[in-house]
Structure 1
Amino acid sequence: MKPARFSFVRPQSRQEILDALTEHGSDASVIAGGQTLVPMLNMRLARPKVLIDAARLPDLARIEEEKGELRIGCAVRQAQLEQLPNLVSKQPLLARAIPFIGHVQTRARGTVCGSIAHADPSAELPLCLIALQGKVHLRTRRKARTVRAEDFFLGMMSTGREPDELIEAVSYPTAAPGTGFAFQEIGRRHGDFAIVAVAAVASGDGVSLTVGGVDDVARRFDLGAGRDDGLDDALNDIAWSLNARDDLHASAAYRREITRRLGSHVIHQAKAEAARCQS
């Protein structure tokens, strides 16, 4: 199939993007990488009347480290983040999750903010943003606001972005000393969206587990000290609290069992890494 008819706008500045969004509102879509939007256009699952190109503005394609965060502009490719010098030390969770995103070819075009905007519950970058308690930076022609990741994702492919807002950047906190991270996922094939994905963050303050691919959004759970003697019960409670469903890829029971097994695995990995960092 081919897309429904649309107008194409190539702004020369951030302000022109915001002006176009103000003018066209919900009739407009912003495109930067297009790895998700273009297939949706071709299948006519998305039918914007106006497509606004944000890919060619250098000031939107920057990764900046400020105040303990990596601020990633809306035109930054996933490969650009993957190749960031010292990403492993700056934010190990991202370094471990990015290789699971699609393939080298798709990461060369797909953008970080595009994945956040699409809000697929199986996608790795939204999961990491929730796991790390990151933020989404939104801007209109008249104002800017910052939204916590846990408040931004409202449901399956649904976010708190208003029609005239541009996701101009997202912020992932950098790794604090003495913190351990772990990530793992199960999919049908490498590069497919995850059937279940899990991320663990461990520090002196406790352990958290974030689960994607099971519920309508990735969900983060604080486990306190994460004592081993109560971990199985805690993981069972988490698995049953998720709104797991049967589909073509896996049953709800399978997703719950993978949540328990992968959850235990990444929690132990993150705690071991945190212990090494503190020794």
Structure 2
Amino acid sequence: MSTLAADALILGFDGDVTSHDLLDESVRVAIAEAATALEASAKVGSTVVLPGTGVEAKRVVVVGIGDGSEGALREAAGAAARAIGTRPTTVVVALPASDDAAASAIAEGAVLGAYSFNAYKSDDVVAAYHGPDWLIAGASDAAITRARILAGAVAGARDLVNTPPLDMFPGAVAEIAQSYGEADGVEVEVWEPQRLADEGFGGILAVGMGSSRLPRLVKVEWAPEGASQHVAIIGKGITFDTGGISLKPSKSMETMKSDMSGSAAVLHTVLAAAKAEPAREGHRLVVHGREHAVRHGPASV
């Protein structure tokens, strides 16, 4: 592992530098001496960044892992990912993982810690950047697959929430759900405004009439063969909440685009379930996402 070329190598610290046993002991000792000199801490998420002396990596990030539990490793990996610097290409994560669950937690933390929303950046290079290639020491294919699906679902939900409501309006959310459904083999049904009226969805229509962009009702369904149970999740999808606009401080309006985070979360929950195809006794998973237009007035639905 000492000879792997990378932008960064991530190691743990629990009072001493600790890593996956693929790292040469002599290299680990040298890094430990440098990290101790810089007062590295075992506190979860505490980081020290060193030059890549003794390894091919350009820099070494030593991060506190606390008690080494799955939760601590996930948090530590995320903190280390944020400490690496600007737009790394390849990152080797050598935190100690005792089993697949720990390795998956490390991978999830690293990917989500490095998340950034670049779609509206003016620099084309930055806007096109989607994160580094991650090499997770000792992780099995199953652990990597699990982490990829879960981290991808969380990042996908974050992307939806972070998109400005000017572009993330009800019709756009419905179209995005349909495109995801086609790609992942998930059934998506959309109630357009006329159908909402025909079928008596007066509450949704009444709230949405305050905007030029009318509401939608979206159902995303994954029904694996042999499913014997039915699970339904409902996510709130108001794409911008202006309720009480005359009462809210101006800074509070900035996060009102987050009112559709419930629908973003459940949409990606179903998509992740379809990708993972959990080996259980057949579950039928349905998500109802209410995608509203800009909300005006105190009405709540």
Q: Using structure 2 for the length normalisation, give the TM-score.
A: 0.27
Q: Which one has the bigger strand percentage?
A: 1
Structure showing greater Rg: 2
Q: Using structure 1 for the length normalisation, give the TM-score.
A: 0.28
